[in-house]
Amino acid sequence: MQAEILSTGDEICQGTFIDTNSAHIAACLNDIGLRVARHQCVGDDIEALTAVFSEIGARADIAIITGGLGPTVDDLSAQAAARAAGVDLVLDRAAENSIKDYFAKFSRTMSPSDIKQAMLPLGAMPILNFWGTAPGFIITLGRCRCYFLPGVPREMEALLGAMVIPDILSFIGKTRNVFIKKELSVFGLPEALVDAKLKGFGDRFPGIKLGMVARFPVITVKMTAQGNDPNHLAEELEKAAEWSARQLDDKVFSFEGRSMEAEVARLLLKQKATLAVAESCTGGLVSHLLTNIAGSSDYFLFSGVTYANQAKQAVLGVSDENLRKFGAVSEQIVREMAEGARRISGAVYGLATSGIAGPSGGSPEKPVGTLCIAVSSQSGTVSRILQSPFKERLSNKQIFAICALDMLRKELLKKAA
State how far the Cα of 279 lies from the Cα of 329, in Å rounded to an integer: 12
* CATH top class, domain 260-416: alpha beta
Burial of 291-316, coded b for 16+ CB within 10 Å and e otherwise, reads bebeebeebbbbbbbbeebeebbebb
pLDDT at residue number 30: 85
SS3 375: strand
pLDDT at residue number 178: 74
State how far the Cα of 206 lies from the Cα of 311, in Å rounded to an integer: 57
Residues 6+ apart with CB under 8 A from 50: 80, 83, 84
The domain 2-175 is placed in CATH, from the list 3.40.50.720, 3.40.50.2300, 3.40.980.10, 3.40.718.10, at: 3.40.980.10
Neighbours of 247 (CB within 10 A): 15
pLDDT at residue number 229: 86
H helices within 275-319, ranges in order? 285-291, 309-316
State how far the Cα of 247 lies from the Cα of 255, in Å rounded to an integer: 14
Rg of the chain taking only CA atoms, in angstroms: 28
The topology under which CATH files domain 178-254 is: Alpha-Beta Plaits (3.30.70)
Residues 6+ apart with CB under 8 A from 323: 309, 312, 313, 333
The dihedral over CA atoms of 233, 239, 241, 244, expressed in degrees to the nearest 10, equals -140
pLDDT at residue number 176: 57
- Residue 280, φ and ψ in degrees, nearest 5: -120, -80
Averaged pLDDT, groups of 10, the chain, 417 residues long: 95 94 93 90 98 98 97 96 98 95 91 94 97 96 98 96 94 72 95 96 96 94 89 95 96 96 98 98 98 97 98 98 98 99 98 98 96 98 97 97 98 90
State how far the Cα of 367 lies from the Cα of 356, in Å rounded to an integer: 7
Q: Is 349 left (phi over 0), alpha (psi -120 to 50) or beta?
A: beta
Domain positions in the chain: 2-175, 178-254, 260-416
Q: Check: CB of residue 255 under 8 Å from CB of residue 314.
A: no
